Amino acid sequence: MHLNTLLCLISASSVLSFPTKPQPIHLPLQFVKTKRLTKRDIVVPLIEDVDLSELAVKVQIGTPAQEFLLLFDTGSADTWIPSTECLPSNGCPAFLKHFDASASSTYQSLQDEFLITYGIGSADGHYFKDTMSFVANDQKTMTVNQQTLATVNNAVGPISDQNQDTDVDHIILDGILGAGLPGGTVRHLQGKGPQYDPFPISLYKAGLIPNPVFSISMNQDKGKLILGGIDTEGISKEFVYTNLANHSSPSRWSINVEGLQFRNHKAVDESRNFKFNQGTPFGVDTGSNFMYLPRALANDLAVSITSNGTFALNRDGVFTTDCQFLSSLDSVNIYFKSSIDNSNTNINIPVSQLISKRDSDGQCLFLFIPSDDKFILGNMILRQFVTVFDFGDIPRIGFAPSKFPPLLITGDE
């Protein structure tokens, strides 16, 4: 080979670029302080000043981009925003950002009807496809083309009930980003159309994130969402994983809980086990604040924690108790099957983090609520952990204790 030709080849090869593996995307999750409960929580007006938070993320939709602040919700799978047709009389206050479909050159209308019902609200409109993006940690815009979304023409519930003048921090949620699973999209569940990939899964399939996972952590003053990776820097122990309930064809981020245990730190023999007859599905839900337990279990757990029965179920369905338990050294274990070897494993929650003190009257409340039909691990539990949502070949959820869990606001602060 001629020397000049060889040198040219070497020179050309030195500037060749090879595709680089995508990196995990780090996004801040805003704590939206709220005096109302989230969309799956019961209406409890007497706890309006307990320290409740919703997790929100900024996204852009359409071309050119229209920006929205959305509730990041693992308890649902559909992302929706208000349409320009949704007026205050339809449940969309004027201060919400409304999506103008006519202004987006990439908007594609779909005829499929969108109708979703939450614990204390609902929304209806129509599906559409458009670009959906956000600004990643390196300031690079990450975009999914033709993401299936919904615009809402009518809404009832917490999004509608926001008040720009009185809401804490004056941060307004425009809609909901459903981070659930394809089988949980309501169009599919209602038999009105095929399932589709929610946004985090679309990111992975588009090659924008390296792994089929995302993790959520809640620190003292902010939250963190890592798409395609795990917050290993924020954990104090290793992760424990459990497969999703019905993991062969899951529709929700739910796990089978085998039972609970109250651990008395002074007298082990006074600890109590509450074992279910079979694994009971619990939703792992960032769209809810509280832990919802079967009614009998919730009552027995309150009895065990207080030992002398110093608690009561108020008319709003919430347990009140003596504030002395804010300093309790006891704890509660939640048991489930390990995805590694199917053995029993658990996560541990201090009793002190299952109680909050209300500012208005100094009353202390348990953060678990008796329920007849929904069993949930909400943000008041998840804030103690870094939580991994793995949508790989065998979908699973992982928990590891957080190094920096948020502290409860107790009213004495």
Query: How many residues does the structure list for the chain?
Result: 413
Q: Which H/E stretch holds residue 347?
A: strand 344-350
Which whole-number Å values give the CA distances from 400 to 143, 320, 347, in the listed order? Answer: 30, 29, 8
| Run of H or E including 13 | helix 3-14
State how far the Cα of 142 lies from the Cα of 336, in Å rounded to an integer: 36
41, 73, 130, 174: which is the annotated catalytic residue?
A: 73
Q: CA–CA separation, 385 vs 274, rounded Å?
A: 22
73 flagged as catalytic? yes
Cα dihedral sign for 335, 338, 341, 342? positive
Q: Max CA-CA distance within the chain?
A: 94
Percentages of the chain per state (helix, strand, coil), in multiples of 5: 15, 40, 45
Distance (Å, whole) CA 12 – CA 331 = 64
Catalytic residue among 78, 130, 197, 285: 285
Dump the DSSP string for 42-110.
---GGGTTS-EEEEEEEEEETTTTEEEEEEEETT----EEEBTT--GGGT--TTS--B-GGG-TT-EEE
CA distances from 169 to 195, 241, 258, 297 (A): 37, 36, 39, 36
> Hey, which residues are catalytic here?
73, 285
